[in-house]
Amino acid sequence: MTQSNPLVGKKDTISQQYKIKHLKSTHYKNKKQGKLMKSIVKGQKYVIPEILRLLKNITFI
């Protein structure tokens, strides 16, 4: 054991907990953003062909 000062250990664990909390929150945000991006891509898959179809219909009229 090299830690003779008990406060050093305490501070260390607090910063560690903060880091873990921060990582968890950023992970959650990234997950949310990922879901949003996926839904946008999914939407584009359906929306773009629909728009193209409508444009074709308009040009033929």
| pLDDT score of 61 more than 70 | no
Chain segment 4-52, per-residue pLDDT in tens = 555 556 667 777 877 878 777 777 787 888 787 777 777 777 777 788 8
The pLDDT value recorded for residue 1 is 45
What residue segments make up the domains of the chain, in order of their start? 16-61
Whole-model pTM: value is: 0.35
Cα–Cα dist 40/58, whole Å = 26
pLDDT at 59 over 50: yes
Given this model, what pLDDT does residue 52 score?
82
Q: Please name the residue that has the structure tokens 């990234």.
A: 30
Reduced DSSP (H G I as helix, E B as strand, rest coil) percent helix, strand, coil of the chain, to 5: 90, 0, 10
Task: Give the tokens for residue 49.
Answer: 């062909």
Residue 49: count of CB within 10 angstroms of its CB: 10
